[in-house]
Amino acid sequence: MLFEDPSPLLTGLNPEQAAAVTLPPEHALILAGAGSGKTRVLTTRIAWLLQSGQVSPGGVMAVTFTNKAAKEMMTRLSAMLPVNVRGMWIGTFHGLCNRFLRAHYQVAGLPQTFQILDTQDQLSAIKRLCKQHNVDDERFPPKQLQWFISGCKEDGHRPRDVVVRDDETRRKVEIYQLYEEQCQREGVVDFGELMLRSYEVLRDNDPIRVHYQRRFRHILIDEFQDTNRLQYAWIKMFSSPPIEGLPPSGNAVFAVGDDDQSIYAFRGARVGNMADFVREFQVRHQIKLEQNYRSCSNILNSANELISHNSRRLGKNLRTDAGEGELVRVYEAASDFAEAQWMVDEMKQLERDGLPRSEIAVLYRSNAQSRVIETALFNAGMPYRVYGGLRFFERAEIKHALAYLRLLENPHDDTSFLRVVNFPPRGIGARSIEQLQDVARVSGCSLHDAVSGVTGRAGVAIGNFVALLDVMRERTEAMTLREIIELVLDKSGLIEHFRAEREGEDRVENLEELVNAAESFVMQEGFGRDAVALPVDEQGAPLTQSPVSQGLDPDAPVLNESLAPDAETGETLSPLVAFLTHAALESGDNQAQAGQDAVQLMTVHAAKGLEFDAVFITGLEEGLFPHENSMSDRDGMEEERRLMYVAITRARKRLYITHAQTRMLHGQTRYNLRSRFFDELPEACLKWLTPKAGAPMTSSWSGQRAGSHGGGAQPAWSPGWLSGAQAPAPAPEPDRGTDIRSGMKVFHTKFGEGKVLAVEGAGADARAQVNFPRHGVKWLALSVAKLTPVTD
DNA sequence: CGTACCGCTTTTTTT
DNA sequence: AAGCGGTACG
């Protein structure tokens, strides 16, 4: 029996990992620290369950947050076992919800071909709604409404569930209600709706719920600390927590998470789900993975020390066998410009020492910081890749093309209709569209159906547009996906339009790339191959007697692939619908300058789950990191600290933490204090490449010439295996009309000599923070206080 | 109807 | 600085 020989899978696992992998089929919580082999444990657990015959592929559900993580899991799993990963439900929350809703579209009250709104689509749908209902967008900004609606859904609230205490909320709920009606009318579903709708189907349909509860014996969840209320409730539907007096549902939830890496509270994630899970599911197995396989101890101890400043932790301390390694390097630059320059020089050295560029990462708190760094890298001719920003399917030209495609499938999709009715421009202006919307509102139909009611020139112009769509629909009926897209790009005039545009070159290329994307999608999803997937029971055997197919909902079999033919009718979801779904759920890669060995630039958020030999964490300044918008409350501050914890733990061998005295932000020069996080790192693990200046508690200022004289400070030491340290390029120091700068030694008639810690504001408002040895730290208005620079 | 210009805002992000 | 939305003008 396979059960007796599971060892090959377990070799190389440490005792905790092995224990986690081989837990009995009961609920479990794995606290997996950064770099502790979390993904390995997760995939090995699945492989072990399958190999030991405890479950068949059809009985496994594994949920992740990103498509990348889901793919990674499938890849590693198929490397471990010869198993058909497609038989399993492995995917993102939203991907699985989509799969579920396509199968149960009737019960869910949706058209089978429902389209998915991404964040942009959702916002424009809300704007349109507000205009139509004369909502004051001063009092109710669409962005805020979007946030409100998404928030409600994340908490599992329909409009009627929202507790209304004031008029403002009452109005918001009304708009929420109207928005729902609009989406329903148009046959579209936003991301929150995917989750909420499938949750409700499970909650309100006993046979369906029981079916899935019986089917999925093992439910595994990655990044559990990032789940929101609704996702947790959704999981509960698949596996009811034990109820007094009732037999347990008999399946096991295996949750893996790290409370210290919870960095998405700002979008509704609830770390508290971990504690709730333990309590509500009466979890008896909790395993901590504290052995770190990634970083040297100086890096790891820094992370440990930093995160220990947070309260409300579940408690965990990572350890490593990797040895001390190098000290964490701290660098203070005169400006953001100098910071970038210095990093580039340092990178060149790393490169000379044989480190591949792809093993170097630059992390920052916010995207706006990438610009200076990009410029410096570009000027130095150093290849780099920026993560974040617009992804392929989010580009305007691609969204236009997709809108045409969506209209072929569903003419009543008003969001798509409005996006392209006058794009490329065809003489249909705001006035005409208003007329059309009026007709549609009066007769309660879609814009498409309202055309006949519009008279005059506008009626003709819009009529032509609708006719164009109808012709396209007709002509593409029997076409392959590739042909459909090519025809749409041509007949819509999109390609022609961008060709004529001066800077439209890239856009044309992107549109052509869309054809390739479709082509490779078709290949991957295996059209033409026999992708028949029959509903299966928990043993993986064909499911013919399940309550679901037993008459309750004969048209809603369990699809195993989005493109699989319907088991009952043989009907397939068209390749076009499948592709559109794919486009909405997987927004595609960012600017893939792939292939080239390049330095990696990204926000700290985007770096979660990744690791690099050398990491630069930049802009460690009060107001930036921690971000000013997070500094008001303790929860925000603790999330910033976790963010820094995530950043630190990305590094394997070498870690740099940098900050700048001045920085351009929103077109203004800002003078930031060094981040408080520096004071929360263990001094013994740090190496200050520039003098540690301005610490309020130290008196080490005297006699040191720190900071910006002549731009950029000299490293105070010779770096270890980096032979010659690069002298930083001089920072440009625009004349600000005052000579007082951070790092300077100044003289005050009353307080004597002191050291300038920071300068803020400009002109008459300029003030400086100065540390006087006898009188402590003071803020002084430069227009009032007489400060004279002291040159030693 | 379409274009040009002015003024306002600005975290983090996946689906 | 830069992108987006609103307004004014051709």
Mean pLDDT of A474-480: 93
Picking from A381, A446, A362, the residue whose alpha carbon sits closest to that of residue A410 is A446
Q: What is the pLDDT of residue A763?
A: 55
Which strand C nucleotides have any atom less than 7 A from protein CB atoms?
1-2, 6
For residue A375, indicate whether it is catalytic: no
Residue nearest to nucleotide B10 (CA to C1'): A666
Which strand B nucleotides have any atom less than 7 A from protein CB atoms?
1-3, 9-15
Pair type for strands A188-190 and A291-292: unpaired
pLDDT band for position A774 (50/70/90)?
A: very low
Query: Is A693 annotated in some ligand binding site?
Result: no
Outline where DSSP puts E strands in A443-592: none
Distance A667 CA to B7 C1' (A): 15
A585: nearest nucleotide, CA–C1' criterion:
B15
Handedness of CA A741, A742, A745, A751 (dihedral sign): positive
Share of chain A above pLDDT 70, in %: 80
Q: What is the pLDDT of residue A528?
A: 39
**pTM (two decimals):** 0.83
Lowest-pLDDT range of A100-114, A128-142, A235-249: A235-249
A98: nearest nucleotide, CA–C1' criterion:
B15
Quote the CA–CA distance of A199 and A217 in Å, as a whole number.
19
Quote the CA–CA distance of A79 and A390 in Å, as a whole number.
32
Query: Is A564 annotated in some ligand binding site?
Result: no
Please, where are the H alpha helices in A216-259? 229-238
Q: What is the pLDDT of residue A271?
A: 94
Neighbours of A225 (CB within 10 A): 25
Residue A719: pLDDT above 60?
Answer: no
Picking from A236, A212, A253, A234, the residue whose alpha carbon sits closest to that of residue A45 is A253
Residue A323 contacts by C-beta under 8 Å, 6 or more apart in sequence? A296, A297
- What do you get for the CA distance between the two ends of chain A, in Å? 82
Q: What is the pLDDT of residue A567?
A: 41
Q: What single-letter DSSP state applies at residue A714?
A: P
- Tokens linked to A288: 């901590």
Quote the CA–CA distance of A220 and A452 in Å, as a whole number.
53
Q: What is the pLDDT of residue A704?
A: 32
For residue A261, indicate whether it is catalytic: yes
Write phi, then psi, for A600 (nearest 5 degrees): -100, 125
A364: nearest nucleotide, CA–C1' criterion:
B12
Lowest-pLDDT range of A65-74, A299-308, A742-751: A742-751
Query: Is A323 annotated in some ligand binding site?
Result: no
For residue A650, indicate whether it is catalytic: yes
Tracing tokens 């800002």 back to the chain, one arrives at A670
Q: Is the CB of A427 within 7 Å of strand B? A: yes
Picking from A173, A185, A165, A164, the residue whose alpha carbon sits closest to that of residue A140 is A173
For residue A222, indicate whether it is catalytic: yes
Lowest-pLDDT range of A13-17, A389-393, A501-505, A775-779: A775-779
pLDDT in tens, A629-677: 888 888 899 999 999 999 999 999 999 999 999 999 888 888 999 999 9
Quote the CA–CA distance of A292 and A34 in Å, as a whole number.
7
For residue A438, indicate whether it is catalytic: no
Mean pLDDT of A249-277: 93
Quote the CA–CA distance of A612 and A654 in Å, as a whole number.
9
For residue A64, indicate whether it is catalytic: no
Residue A606: pLDDT above 60?
Answer: yes
Q: What is the pLDDT of residue A135?
A: 85
Q: What is the pLDDT of residue A506?
A: 83
Footprint of strand C on the protein (CB under 7 A): A 137, 664, 666-667
Q: What is the pLDDT of residue A538?
A: 38
Q: What is the pLDDT of residue A132?
A: 84
Residue A68 contacts by C-beta under 8 Å, 6 or more apart in sequence? A609
Distance A317 CA to B7 C1' (A): 51
Q: What is the pLDDT of residue A769?
A: 66
Residue A544: pLDDT above 90?
Answer: no
Q: Is the CB of A606 within 7 Å of strand B? A: yes
Distance A536 CA to B8 C1' (A): 57
pLDDT band for position A542 (50/70/90)?
A: very low
Distance A229 CA to B13 C1' (A): 18
- Residue of A39, A539, A572, A738 with catalytic role: A39
pLDDT band for position A568 (50/70/90)?
A: very low
Picking from A293, A287, A319, the residue whose alpha carbon sits closest to that of residue A12 is A293
Secondary structure (3-state) at A387: coil
Query: Is A492 annotated in some ligand binding site?
Result: no
Rounded (5°) CA angle A545-A547-A548: 100
Mean pLDDT of A258-265: 95
Distance A463 CA to B3 C1' (A): 25
- The C-alpha torsion from A568 through A571 and A574 to A575, rounded to 10°, is 70
Residue nearest to nucleotide C1 (CA to C1'): A667
Residue A533: pLDDT above 50?
Answer: no
Q: What is the pLDDT of residue A764?
A: 54
